[in-house]
Amino acid sequence: MSISLSKNQTVSLAKEVPSLTRLHIGLGWDPIKKTGFFGKLTGGSDSIDLDASVIVADASKNIIDEVWFRQLSSRDGSIKHSGDNLTGDGDGDDEVIRVDLTRLSKDAAHIVVTVNSFRGQTFNEVDNAVCRLVDESTGKEICRYELREKGSNTGFVMAAISRDGNGWSVKALGAPTNGRTVKDLAAPALSLI
């Protein structure tokens, strides 16, 4: 059974899935449904171009790698991005980042998950934003964090997946920030881990 995380809640992935080797990070969202005359005129919604990304950092919070729509694979091949979804249309995950924990650099201590609006649309225009972790080997969802916040910000640091002596854990962050790409979100993201 999947765990629904609250903001700032941490869950031990090592305890939930001791044999976890491959992780599926799914991010999904919908454009907010518009009402009134203009909402009917435009069909009720606009497309939202959000971009899911991960920042890989060492224990000292130095960036090792970034995976995003302009770099769909980590340099070591352990992390792969599904590609850019320009609309947010459809059900389920809009963008997926897969992580092979067995191939990840031993120096990697943190995988920080971010989402940002490349076109500058704010999160006042986003509905149903969710970040979920799935055991890629079994297809079972481990946990999810549903972002309920709205705001004039163009990005969120969604979660941090961190490694310590006991294995991997995930912390739901939901921290608002601004930026068009993961490069803009890196400094605020690393300050949260």
CATH of the domain at 85: 2.60.60.30
* Exposure of 143 in the CB half-sphere (CA atoms within 13 A): 23
- How large a percentage of the chain has pLDDT more than 70? 89
Structural domain count, the chain: 1
User: Can you give the pLDDT at residue 42?
Assistant: 45
- Which residues is 172 bridged to in the sheet? 159
User: Can you give the pLDDT at residue 120?
Assistant: 92
Whole-prediction pTM value?
0.89
**Does position 87 have pLDDT exceeding 60, yes or no?**
no
Tokens representing 127 are 């509905």
In contact, 25 and 101? CB cutoff 8 Å: no
User: Can you give the pLDDT at residue 43?
Assistant: 44
DSSP 112-178: EEEEEETT---GGGEEEEEEEEEETTTTEEEEEEEE----S-SEEEEEEEEEETTEEEEEEEEEEE-
Contacts for 19 with CB less than 8 Å, ≥ 6 apart: 137
User: Can you give the pLDDT at residue 44?
Assistant: 44
Output the average pLDDT for the chain. 89
User: Can you give the pLDDT at residue 85?
Assistant: 60
Pairwise CA distance, residues 127 & 88, whole Å: 10
Pairwise CA distance, residues 19 & 41, whole Å: 51
Q: How confident is the model at residue 27 (pLDDT cuts 50, 70, 90)?
A: very high
Q: For residue range 111-162, what is the model confidence (pLDDT) as tens digits?
A: 999 999 988 999 999 988 899 999 999 999 999 999 888 999 999 999 999 9
- Pairing assessment for the beta strands 22-31 and 167-177 based on DSSP bridges: unpaired
Which residues constitute the domain of residue 122? Answer: 3-191
Q: For residue range 29-63, what is the model confidence (pLDDT) as tens digits?
A: 888 876 555 544 544 456 778 899 999 999 999 99
Give the mean pLDDT of 9-24: 95
In contact, 2 and 16? CB cutoff 8 Å: no
Q: What are phi and psi of 142, to 5 degrees?
A: -90, -50
**Most distant pair of Cα atoms in the chain: their distance:** 57
